[in-house]
Amino acid sequence: MLNRNPVHMLLLCLLVLLSGFAQAQISDINSAINKAGRERMLSQRMAKAYLQVGLGVDVERSSRQLDTSIALFDRHLVELKNYAPTPEIKNTYLLLEKNWLAYKEALVGTAPNPESARKVLELSETVLQLAHTGTGQLVEISKTETGPLVGVAGRQRMLSQRMAKYYAAIVWGVAPGNSASILAKDRKVFSVALNALGAAPATSQSIRNELDLARQQWALFEAALDARESLDKKSRVSSVALSSERLLEMMDGITGMFENLGS
């Protein structure tokens, strides 16, 4: 199922490119930080979707998420390479591109199995670290009050997907030995960051209202993560997957609101 026809993948990429053409150009540093941060999230969302397919969880939906995430990652990478305001940042995205090609090949070249899933997990972390480096470099040169907030809010998107990724990997039995500790740490970081975003002086009341709603969704996501072992594997992973997508949607909107504060 994952051995994509090249023509199919090309048409999918063109569709995503055309649908987002009006927003394709990076207009300012906050926009760059947002899209750089979205690359972090996509690196984890693709692995999560791949694992879900391997587990037989919402296969059609998971396959669609994987395809669209691959196309969007490609598009943003081109934009970020073109925008890169310093040679150092340009080099980061050239290195990311090199590692992304290996990751994409692993995602589309083999139907999910335990061995390929372990490889995907490894590559997803490598791509994440490079995407995180690029985001941090852009935040560093932003010299604005809102730039770091866009970075932190955008990281919440990534955490929602990485937690779901590691949860699925643990359930499948393909997770690295430190996965449970990473998942526990990510939960703490997510919670602390929610409070920090709400307390930031630049945060508007409308954003605080959205953060309150995000806290409610975060509580539901945590409940899904803590579901009893008595539930069957597919039900547990499906519940976590759906909750992670809702949380992602909310945090993506909030990140956009922070981005617009700098306009």
pLDDT tens, residue by residue, 88-147:
999 999 999 999 999 999 999 889 999 999 999 999 999 999 999 999 999 999 988 999
Percent pLDDT > 90 in the chain is 84
What does the mean pLDDT of the chain come to? 92
**Per-residue confidence (pLDDT) for residue 262, from 0 to 100:** 67
Task: Give the Å distances, CA to CA, from 23 to 18, 222, 246, 249.
Answer: 10, 33, 23, 18
Q: Taking Cα atoms as reference points, which of 185, 204, 176, 187 lies closest to residue 260? A: 204
User: What are the residue boundaries of the structural domains of the chain, listed by start?
Assistant: 6-261
Query: So what's the pLDDT on residue 227?
Result: 84
pLDDT score at 20: 42
pTM over 0.75, yes/no:
yes
Q: Which residues contact 85 (CB under 8 A, 6 or more apart)?
A: 141
11 pLDDT above the threshold of 60 = no
What is the pLDDT at residue 5?
54
Q: Which residues of 100-129 are buried (b: 16+ CB within 10 A; e: fewer)?
A: beebbebbbebebeeebbeebbebbbebbe
Supply the pLDDT for residue 162: 98
pLDDT for the residue numbered 12: 54
Residues 6+ apart with CB under 8 A from 114: 54, 172, 173, 174
